[in-house]
Structure 1
Amino acid sequence: MSRYETLKYEEFGPVARVTLHRPDVHNAFDVQMMREVYACWRELRDNDDIRVIVLTGTGDKAFSTGLDRVAAAVGEDDRIPDIGRRGGTPMHQNEPGDWLMPKSSGKLWKPIIAAVNGMACGGAFYMLGEVEFIIAAEHATFFDPHTTYGMATVYESMMMAQRMPLGEIMRLSLMGSYERMSAQRAHQIGLVQEVVPAEELQETALRVAQTMASQPPLALQATVRSIWYTREMGYRQAMAAGDAMVQLAIDEDELSEGQRVFKSGKRIDWRLR
């Protein structure tokens, strides 16, 4: 994975940290980053040594500010003809999300923690919309500038509407660049699960990731997939899918290890959040 130019990739035992790395443009994505993010999701999916992923951005100014509009304006997207293009009718539209979304595109069902280290806006929501949960630095902000520049926010707002109350996503989307949601407000409405000082962000995210990664991988992944089913289906359909997930998640070695831990009587040092 060292071939990446727009991402930093690190491994901490069973945890991988993927860092969006275009600091000169606030980690905005161009076509190269889109290709590399997609490749990274697929490689992480197939890497059995990695159980949990932390996704963050370089520096302390931005997680990502979405599409690099300057790069798009000068034609960098011509390197992949179908990005931002459509076929003979409007029914065949291609979007950056086709490359960036870890679940829909990458088919990656390992837990992903987003460590939001600054501004997160616009196209960043393609990624944040499909992580398991978000830890944010105190100075992090969330906004969507589409409407300010004459564009509807569609896919991004649809994805974030699954994580936010209706009034909140409406206000965030319709205020454009004129208002930003603080990390504290994001925490109040449930978009963010923890807010920490900036200097503690990476340590906190890695600690949580390492704790999750200490547990059996099949149990983690089946749990992730089952909970996402409840977002994608009606209640009855999700419960029916759950019948299959219970069977798929049975691994005799993992169950035996779990039983051994239970019978050992060893106290688990839990942390109150």
Structure 2
Amino acid sequence: MSRYQTLDYAERDGVAWVTLDRPEVHNAFDGRMMREIHECWRMLRENDDVRAVVLTGAGDKAFCTGIDRTAAGVGEGGPSEVGRRGSTPLHLDDPGDLLPPKTAGQLWKPVIAAVNGMACGGAFYLLGEVEFIIAAEHATFFDPHTTFGMAAVFEPMLMLQRMPLGEVMRMTLMGNAERLSAQRAHQIGLVQEVVPAAELHEAAHRVAAAIAAQPPLAVQTSVRAVWYAQELGHRQALDVAKTLVQLGTDQESLAEGQRRFASGRRDEWRLR
């Protein structure tokens, strides 16, 4: 029996598959799912059998559509599992406290998103902190906050890390009136590969397994370095890099890499 009620979890070839499993509400998250996602990220930090993660949604209609507005209290704007705690706005339980793999989980194993349909609103808490995105051809991306009278705040801030300013602004301000296609998302760099829906799982597993086959210390240090470069000033990042190079150099893995190079054996590669 799965340890989770709202997620499906499986491991194969050093890769963990985390599937948002509430297809009846387009994999929208309620309080339980938020807590289980957070628990899953934290668990994965300690699971040395897993070297890469694929995050996807159940079914073929949606990856995730953000907060479940049908959950108790959400649709009416009242108190709920997702939202403010207490009588003042100073104590806010925001999904950003539990969902993003880096911010909430401090997880530096690479996470790849396989987007299998609609991704909107609160889905960007997750997509904003994955390493890269592979999308099915029918996937769409949009942010409906303003249409429903809500300010879009955390989501566009997260997506500004991986989309041009004008694209973030347009998606934020257009609300429900417009959606980004998988092809357009690929053009602007939000998505790194677009595949037919029937090939999405195979494509995601192929790259995740290739990453998982590499020395984990080198991979995880590289992930951390790139995020530091994204978040810090240029000179600050270069200063941190000196420490990361030393921390991320495992002598055994380095020696194996040198033996591999000297042998003349080269991996088969695929042109993307």
Q: Which amino acid aligns with 1:172?
A: M
Give 1:22's aligned residue. Answer: 22
Give 1:175's aligned residue. Answer: 174
Q: Is the 8 A contact 1:64 1:124 kept in 2?
A: yes
Structure 2 Cα separation of the partners of residues 256 and 199 of structure 1: 40
Give 2:137's aligned residue. Answer: 138
The answer as to 2:9 corresponding to 1:9 is yes
Q: 1:159 to 1:74 in 2, by over 3 A?
A: closer
Runs of 5+ consecutive residues of structure 1 not aligned to the other structure: none
Q: Which amino acid aligns with 1:257?
A: E
Deviations 1:18-40 (A, max 9, x none): 00000000000001100100000
Structure 1 Cα separation of the partners of residues 22 and 149 of structure 2: 25
Give 1:90's aligned residue. Answer: 89
Give 1:190's aligned residue. Answer: 189
Q: Which amino acid aligns with 1:118?
A: G
Q: Which amino acid aligns with 2:63?
A: F
Q: 1:1-273 to 2 correspondence within 5 Å?
A: 2-73=2-73, 83-86=82-85, 89-273=88-272
Structure 1 Cα separation of the partners of residues 2 and 198 of structure 2: 26
Shift of residue 231 of structure 1? 1.1
Q: Is the 8 A contact 2:74 2:80 kept in 1?
A: no
Q: Which amino acid aligns with 1:48?
A: D
Query: Could you tell me the TM-score, scaled by structure 1's length?
Result: 0.95
Structure 2 Cα separation of the partners of residues 154 and 72 of structure 1: 23
Shift of residue 92 of structure 1? 3.8
Shift of residue 139 of structure 1? 0.3
Question: Cα RMSD between the aligned structures?
Answer: 1.6
Identity of aligned residues (%): 67
Shift of residue 240 of structure 1? 0.6
Query: Could you tell me the TM-score, scaled by structure 2's length?
Result: 0.95
Q: Is the 8 A contact 2:72 2:80 kept in 1?
A: no
Shift of residue 2 of structure 1? 2.0
Shift of residue 89 of structure 1? 4.9
Runs of 5+ consecutive residues of structure 2 not aligned to the other structure: none
Q: How many residues get paired?
A: 270
Q: Which amino acid aligns with 1:47?
A: N
Q: Is the 8 A contact 2:52 2:211 kept in 1?
A: yes
Shift >4 Å, 4+ stretches:
77-80, 86-89
